Structure 1
Amino acid sequence: MTNRALPLLVANWKANLPPGEEVLLAGVIANDARRRGLLPGSLMIAPSALGLVPVASLLQREHASLQIGVAAQDVSALDPGAHTGETPATHLLGIVGAVILGHSERRNLGETSTQIGKKVARTVAAGLMPIICVGDTAREATTEQRYAEVRAQWDELAGSAAQAGCSLTALLEAGTLVAYEPVWAIGSGASADPELAGGMAAAIREGSSDQVQILYGGSVRASHAAPFFAGAGASRLDGLLVGGASLSSESLLDIAAALGSAS
């Protein structure tokens, strides 16, 4: 696996919009992306579960040349079977190329790193790319405390994935992305310092592999996106995971433009 040639922008729409509005927004973003010259393969959209099929169908049918990827926001830790309400990873094949796993908003509902690791293993086994979220929770903490918290999350979920048959080599071959999301910054309008994000990237790579690709997510705006890509080597970032700002085509593509100028 090699590093991405250009930063990846992942738009996480969460549960903000009904499916019909998600399809409309996806169309607006695609048309605006073409007009603004967005590089193919540099954008991925994660609609709600109900929006996955119609959004993916629209992008494949009318905007295939833009190569806008589609990701699910979660997946089951279970294989197909009698599991009411679950969505096995294999059922997402042909609809999405990636799955966001372990987002802090899922952890807030009681999801553990052990459960996330099992979901990672199911995702990789299905041939999909995991986007694994890790993050520190305390607004006031030392840098070393933040590194230790995130490394502990990574070690636990990676160990769980390994027990389920998914090795670090398999994670790398699947193109795994690790998204560092400072939990205290999400939805607050305040982002982490780019130097902290770069240091966190280095800490994650130290505990996994220098080849792992890392995103930053946490109240991202176009006005402060570029400095996150000043790092090099182990502290480099490979893209952004964007929440609220991705619900507007203009703000999302402004961030994409900032990434383009920084890469």
Structure 2
Amino acid sequence: MNKNAAETTQLLTDILNQLPSGKEVEVLVAPPYVNLSQAVHILEHTNISVAAQNMHQAEGGAFTGEISADMLTSVGVHNVILGHSERRAYFKESDALLANKVDTALKHEMRVIFCIGEELKDRQNKQHFNVVDNQLRDGLFHLEANAWMNIVLAYEPVWAIGTGETASPEQAQEMHHFIRETIRHKYGSDIAENVSILYGGSVKPDNAKEIFSKPDVDGGLIGGAALKAEDFVAIVEAV
């Protein structure tokens, strides 16, 4: 919940002006709902795509304040973040609910950035692999293999989001490798090797390159650092 309309325009303009040309990396931005349409307009004919931060699972109806997949695609938004740790924590979104959201998004031919990750107590109790395994299985493993063409994963250790703490590059790689192997056991090597797994959790310009250098880390889901164009561009350049 950052950036009003004018601030969003300024941030996107600054990012466009600062992004290096010819960089072979996919870039998405995820403004708040009220700024999505203007973001699509600003980024038209550029290589930057727009994602929504959330989406309701129903097609429509008496859900005051909610936004449907059809509403998003109608304004040119074809990517959606689902299962962010803040949605899970503050709005009590369960894996079963998120599985429904995933189904609705895929029905509308949207690409899903699906977030998974453990809380501090889970890691302290050495349950972090079990937590992530359950989130994967309960949220995504009902899907047919061909649906994974439109799935991106984002591992975000909850204890490292907005805290200044960051999972070490080795911790990130360990979990990303576990995620990829879990997918391999369910769906086979082709899907496991081709699914993008992003890392999210206090990624900054000074640690991005080391994190992204790990073999199973394919990119980042950037939070606070994305609110400053120069920091976001520096992270993009580190990929």
TM-score (norm. length: structure 2):
0.89
Q: Percent identity?
A: 34
3-state SS of 1:123 partner:
helix
Corresponding residue to 1:92 among 68, 72, 96? 72
Q: Distance in 1 between matches of 2:122 and 2:156?
A: 15
Equivalent residue pairs, number: 229
The aligned residue for residue 231 of structure 2 is: 251
Contact 1:124 1:170 in 2 (8 A): no
Deviation at 1:24, TM superposition (A): 1.7
> Is 2:154 aligned against 1:201?
no
Q: Distance in 2 between matches of 1:207 and 1:168?
A: 16
Contact 1:168 1:208 in 2 (8 A): no
3-state SS of 1:196 partner:
helix
The aligned residue for residue 154 of structure 2 is: 179
Structure 1 residues 212 and 40, CA gap change in structure 2 (3 angstroms): closer
The aligned residue for residue 187 of structure 2 is: none
3-state SS of 2:81 partner:
strand
The aligned residue for residue 189 of structure 2 is: none
The aligned residue for residue 68 of structure 1 is: 48
- The letter of the residue matching 2:196 is Q
Deviation at 1:153, TM superposition (A): 1.2
Q: Distance in 1 between matches of 2:42 and 2:138?
A: 38
Contact 2:212 2:238 in 1 (8 A): no
Gaps of 5+ in 2: 185-191
Q: Distance in 2 between matches of 1:150 and 1:127?
A: 26
Q: Distance in 1 between matches of 2:84 and 2:13?
A: 26
> Is 2:192 aligned against 1:216?
no
Higher RCO (C-alpha under 8 Å, 6+ residues apart): 1
Deviation at 1:18, TM superposition (A): 1.2
Q: Distance in 2 between matches of 1:187 and 1:222?
A: 15
The aligned residue for residue 48 of structure 1 is: 32
- The letter of the residue matching 2:162 is G
The aligned residue for residue 23 of structure 1 is: 9
Q: Distance in 2 between matches of 1:24 and 1:217?
A: 24
- The letter of the residue matching 1:71 is A
Contact 1:44 1:71 in 2 (8 A): yes
Report which stretch shifted further, 19-28 or 205-214. Answer: 205-214
Deviation at 1:41, TM superposition (A): 5.3
Contact 1:40 1:67 in 2 (8 A): no
- The letter of the residue matching 2:8 is E
Gaps of 5+ in 1: 1-14
Q: Distance in 2 between matches of 1:198 and 1:127?
A: 30
Q: Distance in 1 between matches of 2:53 and 2:212?
A: 25
Report which stretch shifted further, 193-202 or 45-54. Answer: 193-202
Q: What do the CA deviations read for 1:186-245 (whole angstroms, capped 9, x no partner)?
A: 00111101111112112212222413210000000111111223333xxx1111000000
- The letter of the residue matching 1:55 is A
Q: Distance in 1 between matches of 2:162 and 2:50?
A: 23
Structure 1 residues 142 and 230, CA gap change in structure 2 (3 angstroms): farther
Alignment RMSD: 1.8
TM-score (norm. length: structure 1):
0.81
Q: Distance in 2 between matches of 1:214 and 1:143?
A: 24
Structure 1 residues 168 and 217, CA gap change in structure 2 (3 angstroms): farther
Contact 1:74 1:100 in 2 (8 A): yes
- The letter of the residue matching 2:154 is A
Q: What do the CA deviations read for 1:116-137 (whole angstroms, capped 9, x no partner)?
A: 1111111111111000000010
